[in-house]
Structure 1
Amino acid sequence: MGTYKEKNHQLTDPYVTAGNRVYVIGAQNGLFPDEGGHIAGEMAGVWNHPIKLLDGFFVGIRDEAGTRWPTAKAFRTYSFYTEHHYDEAGFQLVRRQFVPDNEELAFITFEVVNQTATPLQLDLIFAVKSDLRPGWLGEETDGQDVVAVRENSLVFNDSANPWSVAVCSDLDAQQTESSSLGCPFETKGNGAFGALILPLTCEAGQTATVTVCIAGSLTDSDRATERVKDGLNRYESLWQAKQQRYEELDNTSKVTVPNADLNDTVRWVKFNTDWLVRDVPAIGNGLGAGLPEYPWWFGCDNGYALQGVLAAGAFSVAEDTLRLLASVSARENGNGRIIHEVSTTDVVFNPGNTQETPQFCMTVWETFKWTGNLEFLREMYPAVQKAIEWTISMAPDGNDLAVGYGIMEVENLNAKLIDTAVYTEQAFEAYAQMSTLLGYEDVATQMRERAEKLREEILNRFWLADEGLYADVLVDSQGMNQHLYLWADRQDKEGRHRAAEEYRSLIDKDAHGERPFLLKNWVISTPVETGIAPKAQAEQLLARMRTPEFKGSAGLYLSGIDQTHMMTISTSVQAVAECRYGHVDEAVEWLEQLAATRDLRVPGSISEMSPDYGCFVQAWTIYGAMVPIVRHMFGVDPLAHKQCCSIDVCMPKTWNTAKLERLRVGENDICLQYERVGDEEQLTIRTTLDWTFQFARPVTVLQQAGLQTPVSDLQISAGETVTVRFG
C-alpha cells in the first residue's frame, strides 16, 4: 500500500494521522498517554478544531484465553495513513488510521490475519474515552461528557455545550456505556468511557477486516450520527481521493539528486507539511506551525514555511494562509501589524513581534511571483500598505530601524534587532515591486529609496569588523548591561559557566548611548540569508558560522554563546545563506545535518528542536528542505505573471546529475534536468506552456543541426524539450 517508514523501538514516541479538519495524535505503541503543555496533558487524542473529540481509543482482545489489552510491536508511517502492528499467538493484528480531507471524520481499520490451520473467533474491543472540550484559550466551560447508545453507535455529548462525537463500525457490534470490560487506561478530563464489541470470525489462512468511523460535530449529536453512518458508506471513495492527492503531492516538485537522504527528506517533508494544514471554518484555512503543541497559525513561522510551500507547488495553501493572517490581524490590531499567533479558538495570544509584519509583506510578493495571481496581489495590497506604514511607525529615530521583539523573543530585548531591520529592507523592496506592477510608481520610487538607505544603515551600523559578524542588536548600553548581568547569573545557576563569562565580557560599564551588541544568535545570518550583505562581509560570517562556535552536532545553535539548542529553522537559514553566495557544497552539509534527524522520533518526520525534541513535525522545516535546492541550486526565480523564469544553476561539485520534475510556476509544469560532463554543464528544460527562460550565464542551445550563438533569454514552446549548455 505504498512506501512506508517503520519503527520497532521507543514506541512511546508520538505519531499523527492528519486531515485538514481532524487529526489523531497518540503513541506509536497504540496507546494514548496524556501529553502536551498548552493544555496540560490534553494535546494528544482526536481533535476536530476548535474542539477536542476523544482522549483516545484502546484495543482489547477477548477470546478463549481471556481479555487482554496489547500494545503494538511495530509502527509504520505512510504518506497519509499510519499502522500499528500487533503480534498475538496464532494471528497478527494490524490497526490502520486514516483521516480524509475536508471531513470531520477519522477511520480506524483492523485486519486480523489468521496464521493457523483452524478458524479463529474473537471479539475486538474498541474502547473509547471521549473528552469533548475547547481548544487552547477557548472560553467555554468544559462540561461532563455523557454517552448513549444510538443506532449501533456510541454517541458522546458534552453536558454544557452542543458538541458531540459518534463512533460506529461497519460490523454489527455490541455496545457498552461504561468501562466495565476492564479497560485499564485512564486519562485526564471530563470524558466518558464506552466500547464497541466487534465479533470477528476468520477462516484458516484468511484475513478478516472491520472498520470503525469517528465523526465529530460542533452543533448536535444528530449531526455526528449522520456523519458517522455516511462516512462508513463513503470510506473507499474518501480513501481513493486522498491517495490520489498524495500521489500528486509526491510527484510535484519531485527532487532527484545524488544524495538519497536529501531526496527522501524533500519527499517526506512535503507530506509532513500537508499534515499541518488546518481548516477551521469560523477562522479560515492555513498552515499550522507544529504538532502536538502548535496546531494553530503563526506569522513568523509562515514567513519561512510558505517559501518552501510555494517551491513545493502548494499555491492554495500559501494564499489561504496569508489571507487568514491578514484577516485576523486586521480584526485584532487594525493598524497593519501582523499577529504572532492565533489559536484555533480564534484568540490572538500575541499581537505580533515586530519582524513578523515585514515578513508578511515579503511572503505576499513571493507568493505572487510563483502563482502570477494578480487578483490575489490586489487583494493583499492594502494589507501590505498598512503593514509597511506600521513598521515605519515603529522606528522612533526616523531611520526605519524598527523597535520591538524579533524572531528569538529574547527576554527584555525590545530593541532595534538585526532580523527586523533586514526583513524590513526586504519588505520595502517587495512593496516597491508590487507598487510598480499595480501602477503606483511614486510609492515604488519612495520605497526603493528607503530600502537603499536602510540597507546602508544595516551594513554600517550592525557590522562588527573585528568579529567578522553582524551584531544582533542596536541598544542603549546601560540598559543592555542590566540584561547581561541577568543572563550571566542565569547561566551560572544552570552550570554553564563559560556562557556566563561570555555574557559578562560584553558588559560595557563606560559606554553611554546606543551601540551594537553581539549576542551570537542565529539571526545574525539574516543579511547573508537575504543576500544584502557585501560579498566580503558574507564570506567572513559564513566561515565563522561553520566553526564549532556556532555549528553543533545536529545543526546551527540558536545561540553561539549558550551552545545548547538547535532548531530546523536556524540550520535551514544557514543553508540558504551559504547558497546565496555560491557555497552550495557547504549548504549540502547543513542540509545533511537536517536530514540526519529524520526518523528519530516519528518515522518520516523531522522534529522542531534538533535532533529529536519539541514538536515532532514542524512547518518551517520545509524552508530548508525546498528553498536551497529549488531556488538556489536549480536557481529558479519565478515571475509567473510574465510567463517567465530566471535560471541561475549552481550545483554542488559532487552532483553530476540532478532532476526537478513538475515544478509549478503559475499554470505551468516545468521539468529541469541537469548534467555535468567534465567541465561542461547542461540543462534540459521541458515546459507545458509557452514560457521564457532567462539565464544568469549565457547558454548555447544544443540542436541536431549544430550549435546556436550563446543567448541569455530563451523562448520555449509548450510541450517542447530543449537542452542548453552553459558558457
Structure 2
Amino acid sequence: MAGITSKHPFNLYYNGGEYVKICGSQDGYFPDFGHHVANEMGGIWLHPIKLLDGFWLKLTDTKRNISVWSRADGFTSEPWGSRFQYDHGLSHIPIAMERTQFAPEQVKGMTAGYELRHYGEGELHLKVELLVRTDLRAVWFSDEVGVHKGSGDQAKVLNPREVLVRDPENDWFVQVGTDLPGDQLEVGPELYGPEFTTGVGCGIAFHTELTIPAGESRRFNLFVAGSYVSAEECTASYRQLAVGHQELLAEKLAVYHAVADRARLTIEGEDAWNEVFTWAKWNNQWLIQKVDGVGRALTAGGPTYPWWFGCDNTYSLQGVLAIGDPQLAKDTLNLLLQKSEEVNGNGRFIHEVTTLGAVSNPGNTQETAHYIAFVWDLFRWTGDEELLRRHYAYCVKGIDWLLEEMDPDQDLFPSGYGIIEIAGLNMELVDSAVYTAKALQAMAEMSAFLQDATAESKYRELATRCIEAVNRSFWQEEEGLYADAVAPASDVAPKVDYLVSLAEAQGVTGYREYVEGLLAEANANGTASEDRGWLLNKNWVIVTPMEAGIADPDKARRALNHMRNDTFIGEYGTYLSGTFQQGTMTISTGVHAVAEAVNGNANAALDLLNRMRRSFSRVLPGSFSEMSPDYGCVVQAWTIYALAVPFVRHFFGVEPFASRRELKLRPQLPSAWSGKACSLEQLVIADAEFDLSLTEKSGALTGYIRNEAGWKVTVEWNGQTISSEDKLIELTMSGQSS
C-alpha cells in the first residue's frame, strides 16, 4: 500500500477517518481558504464542528542561533493519511524531519507524529515549539438555523501537556496535547504561528529543549480530540489516541487493505488502471462522514462540499455498489430519505443537507426522479426487501410530485432545475425527463416485485409514454442530438439576455445571433407558443438518454457519433457544455463513458476514461479533482461512478438480482485489452462474493467465475449463453454473432 509523492507543495490535501477530516496544504501549512464558511474550510473538522485552524512546529538551533518554522519540501499522499518530508526546508539546521498524520476511522480525533534526525556532527541543541490554533465553530448553514459560535474559545489547562478548550455558548470541545518532554506551556488568543489564521480561537504552544547526538533521532506526537456532546467524551477520545494511536493506525491500515482487496481490479499489463481503480476506492473511503445523532453517509467532496447531496449520491452510490460496499449505499440513502421526509414529506428528494442535519436546498427536479430509479438499482444489488418497502412508499409520493406539482401541462416532463444548476434553466430539462422515464420503469419493477399489479400496469404505461415522448420531443433531427430543454419560444425569449451574458463571460461570441435565430425560426413557423426542443448550451446531460438506455437505437447511434468530436470532448474528457468548452468534470466524462458502454461502444468508453485518467494526481496525489484537470474539490465522490460503473457494470457486464440469487454477466472488454487476463476479485453482492477472470482473444472468451455462494450465474457473450450454479464455472465461449 504505497503512497504517491507530490510535486506541488502548495496544493491541498485531504485526510479522513469516518469522524474527523484534515485539510491543509502539502507544505504542511494550513492556509485560510473557502467560501461556504469564508476562509474556514481547511484545518481539522469533527463534523458538524471545526476543531483547529491548524498546527505548526518551530525549531531553534541554540548554538547557531537559527530559528525556523518548519515547512515541508516533500509530501506523500498515503491511503490512510499523509507524510511530510522536511529534508531541505529547515534552513541551516542539520535536521531531517518527517511528519506523519492520520485520523482513525472510528475515533473522534487525529494524531500527528514527528521524527527529527540529526545528520550533522556533534550534539545538536534544539528549542522546540509545537503550536496549535483552536477554532471551535459550526459547519456552513448553521447560522441560518440558529446555531452560532460563542464569543471566543475558552481554554482550561489540565496539565502542562494537555489543554481542554470549549466554546462558551455550545457543548463543543477540543482537547490537544503532546508527549513532547518538558513542562513549558503558553495559552492565549494572541498566540499565532507562521500563518495568521482568521479564526477567533485560542493559541496553545508546547515548549521544550532537546539534545540530539549525531546520527540519532527523537520522536514525539501531537494528539487532537473533539466532541460536540461533552467534555467527558472529548477526554475519553483523547485517551484513546494518546494511549492507543499505534493500534488505531494498524486498524486503519487493515480497513484500507480490505477496501483495496474488495472488487480488486487486475488488467494484465495495465498497471496504471489497476492503481487508479484502487485509489478511487480509497478516495471513496475518505469521503464517508459519520455524525452521531444524524447518520453516516457519503459526502460529495473535500474540502469544499463535506456534506451530503441527493444528486451526487444518486450517481456515486451506483459506483459504491460496484466496489462492494452495500452498507454505505444503504446508510447514505436512508439518511437522505429521512431528511427528505422531515423537510419535504411529499416525495421530493432533498438536494443538500449539512452535517448539522440542516437542509439548505429541498431538492431539484432531477434528483427526485434519479433517486426513485436508484432505489430499484439498490434493491437488485442488496436484496434488502425491508429497505425496498421503506423507500417504495416515498417513491410513490415522489412520482406524484413529479407528474402533478412539477408537470402542470401533463406532458410527462417535470419542470424545474436539473443537474445543471444555471439560473434561468428551470424548464423541462432533458436530464429530468430522462430520469423520470427511468423512475417510472423502476416503479413498475418495484410494484411487480411487491405484487401490486394495478400499480405495475399504471407505471409501465406511463414509462412507455414518457420514453416515447423523450425520443419525440427532445430529439433534434437536423443536429442529430437530444436537446437541453423543451419549452415554447415564449418561455425562452425572456432568458436570452441572461444566457448571452453567460456565453460572453466564457468568451463565446455569436451566441445572441444563434439563440435569436432559433427564436426567429420558431416564430416563422408559427410555433412560438408550442413546446419544442432547444439546444441552448449543448450541456453534457444531453447524453443521458443514451446513458439511461432509453434512446431509440438509431438516435443513440447518431447522437453518440455526433458527440465524438472536439465540440464535446477535450483533453481530459467531456466538456460540461459543448457551447462553452470551459470545464470538464469526472461526472460529465463518466456519464458519457457509461452512455457509450450501454450502447455497446466499449472502445469509445475507454477512450473517454483514458482522457479522464490524465487528471489523476494532478493536484492531490492519488486522487481526481472535482474539475478536470486541477481545480475544485481535491477529491470528489462521483468519480467512483465514473470509474466503477463502466468497469464493473459494463466492461465486466455485472448485472445482479440479489433477491433471486442470480448474477448475469454481459462482458464487453475493450479491444485494447485483447489477449489480456482481466480479473475482478472479491466482488461483493449482497451476502455473496465472486471472483471473475476473463480473457477475450481471437473471437473467443475464456476464464472462470468463482461462485462459492452457488448463485445462478448466466454469461451472455457474442450471441452465446451459458448458465450454471457451480461453485467454479470455467468459460470457453467462441459464440456466434446474433
Partner of 2:81: 81
Partner of 1:673: 693
Q: Does structure 1 conserve the Cα–Cα contact (< 8 Å) formed by 2:707 and 2:725?
A: no
CA distance in 1, matches of 2:452, 2:130: 63
The C-alpha deviation readout for 1:560-617, integer Å capped at 9, x for no partner, is 1111111111110000011011111111111011111011111111111111111111
Of 398, 401, 410, the residue aligned with 1:387 is 398
Q: How much does 1:260 deviate?
A: 2.9
Q: Which deviates the most, 424-433 or 388-397?
A: 388-397
CA distance in 1, matches of 2:246, 2:497: 63
Q: Does structure 1 conserve the Cα–Cα contact (< 8 Å) formed by 2:663 and 2:714?
A: yes
SS at match of 1:528: helix
Partner of 1:243: 253
Over 3 Å counting, the alpha-carbon distance change for 1:494 and 1:319 in structure 2 is closer
> 2:206 matched to 1:196?
yes
Partner of 2:554: 536
CA distance in 1, matches of 2:192, 2:646: 54
> 2:683 matched to 1:663?
yes
Of 457, 482, 502, the residue aligned with 1:445 is 457
> 2:669 matched to 1:651?
yes
Partner of 1:101: 105
CA distance in 2, matches of 1:442, 1:489: 49
Of 479, 498, 509, the residue aligned with 1:467 is 479
The C-alpha deviation readout for 1:363-405, integer Å capped at 9, x for no partner, is 2211111112222222222122222222222222323211111
Q: Please list, as runs of the form range in 1=range in 2, the aligned pairs for 1:400-411 lying within 5 A after superposition.
A: 400-411=412-423
CA distance in 2, matches of 1:346, 1:165: 21
Of 27, 49, 52, the residue aligned with 2:50 is 52
TM-score in terms of structure 1 length:
0.95
> 2:733 matched to 1:725?
yes
Q: Which deviates the most, 238-247 or 367-376?
A: 367-376
CA distance in 1, matches of 2:442, 2:27: 48
> 2:320 matched to 1:309?
yes
SS at match of 1:191: coil
Partner of 1:215: 225
Partner of 1:454: 466
Q: Which deviates the most, 677-686 or 21-30?
A: 677-686
1:677 counterpart letter in structure 2: K
Over 3 Å counting, the alpha-carbon distance change for 1:502 and 1:118 in structure 2 is farther
Q: Does structure 2 conserve the Cα–Cα contact (< 8 Å) formed by 1:303 and 1:360?
A: yes
Partner of 1:702: none
Q: Which deviates the most, 430-439 or 350-359?
A: 430-439
> 2:572 matched to 1:554?
yes
Of 499, 502, 512, the residue aligned with 2:528 is 512
1:472 counterpart letter in structure 2: D
> 2:274 matched to 1:267?
no
> 2:262 matched to 1:252?
yes
Q: How much does 1:185 deviate?
A: 1.9
CA distance in 2, matches of 1:711, 1:409: 44
Q: Does structure 2 conserve the Cα–Cα contact (< 8 Å) formed by 1:55 and 1:131?
A: yes
Q: How much does 1:628 deviate?
A: 0.5
TM-score in terms of structure 2 length:
0.93
Over 3 Å counting, the alpha-carbon distance change for 1:331 and 1:726 in structure 2 is farther
CA distance in 1, matches of 2:36, 2:718: 55
Q: Please list, as runs of the form range in 1=range in 2, the aligned pairs for 1:409-448 lying within 5 A after superposition.
A: 409-448=421-460
Q: Which deviates the most, 492-501 or 279-288?
A: 492-501
Over 3 Å counting, the alpha-carbon distance change for 1:181 and 1:130 in structure 2 is closer
SS at match of 1:132: strand
Over 3 Å counting, the alpha-carbon distance change for 1:724 and 1:692 in structure 2 is farther
SS at match of 1:160: coil
SS at match of 2:549: coil
Partner of 1:67: 67
CA distance in 2, matches of 1:465, 1:639: 37
Of 134, 139, 142, the residue aligned with 2:138 is 134
Q: Please list, as runs of the form range in 1=range in 2, the aligned pairs for 1:483-632 lying within 5 A after superposition.
A: 483-492=495-504, 495-508=507-520, 510=523, 511-513=527-529, 514-519=531-536, 520-632=538-650
Q: How much does 1:90 deviate?
A: 2.6
Q: Which deviates the most, 556-565 or 24-33?
A: 556-565
Q: Does structure 2 conserve the Cα–Cα contact (< 8 Å) formed by 1:340 and 1:352?
A: yes
Q: How much does 1:721 deviate?
A: 4.8
Q: How much does 1:43 deviate?
A: 0.4
CA distance in 1, matches of 2:372, 2:14: 32
CA distance in 1, matches of 2:458, 2:502: 46
2:341 counterpart letter in structure 1: A
Partner of 1:704: none
CA distance in 2, matches of 1:39, 1:721: 55
Q: Does structure 2 conserve the Cα–Cα contact (< 8 Å) formed by 1:489 and 1:500?
A: no
> 2:387 matched to 1:369?
no
CA distance in 2, matches of 1:157, 1:283: 22
Q: How much does 1:491 deviate?
A: 2.9
Over 3 Å counting, the alpha-carbon distance change for 1:698 and 1:555 in structure 2 is closer
> 2:355 matched to 1:347?
no
CA distance in 2, matches of 1:293, 1:688: 43
Number of aligned residues: 713
CA distance in 1, matches of 2:504, 2:729: 63
SS at match of 1:177: strand
Of 23, 29, 32, the residue aligned with 1:31 is 29
Of 157, 171, 189, the residue aligned with 1:149 is 157
The C-alpha deviation readout for 1:69-99, integer Å capped at 9, x for no partner, is 0210011101111011102443311111110
List alignment gaps of at least 5 residues for structure 2: none
Q: Does structure 2 conserve the Cα–Cα contact (< 8 Å) formed by 1:201 and 1:208?
A: no
CA distance in 2, matches of 1:86, 1:432: 61
CA distance in 1, matches of 2:688, 2:218: 46
Q: Which deviates the most, 71-80 or 552-561?
A: 552-561
CA distance in 2, matches of 1:158, 1:278: 23
CA distance in 2, matches of 1:470, 1:182: 57
CA distance in 2, matches of 1:238, 1:483: 56
Q: Does structure 2 conserve the Cα–Cα contact (< 8 Å) formed by 1:308 and 1:623?
A: yes
Q: Which deviates the most, 570-579 or 197-206?
A: 197-206
SS at match of 2:201: coil
Q: Percent identity?
A: 36
Q: Does structure 2 conserve the Cα–Cα contact (< 8 Å) formed by 1:484 and 1:507?
A: no
Q: How much does 1:193 deviate?
A: 0.8
Partner of 2:711: 691
Of 290, 300, 307, the residue aligned with 1:296 is 307
CA distance in 2, matches of 1:483, 1:259: 48
Over 3 Å counting, the alpha-carbon distance change for 1:375 and 1:200 in structure 2 is farther
Over 3 Å counting, the alpha-carbon distance change for 1:339 and 1:453 in structure 2 is same
The C-alpha deviation readout for 1:44-64, integer Å capped at 9, x for no partner, is 011011111111111111232
Q: Does structure 2 conserve the Cα–Cα contact (< 8 Å) formed by 1:605 and 1:616?
A: yes
Superposed CA RMSD in Å reads: 1.9
List alignment gaps of at least 5 residues for structure 1: 700-709
Q: Please list, as runs of the form range in 1=range in 2, the aligned pairs for 1:276-287 lying within 5 A after superposition.
A: 276-287=287-298
SS at match of 2:85: strand
Of 37, 40, 49, the residue aligned with 2:38 is 40
Q: Does structure 2 conserve the Cα–Cα contact (< 8 Å) formed by 1:142 and 1:190?
A: no
Partner of 1:233: 243
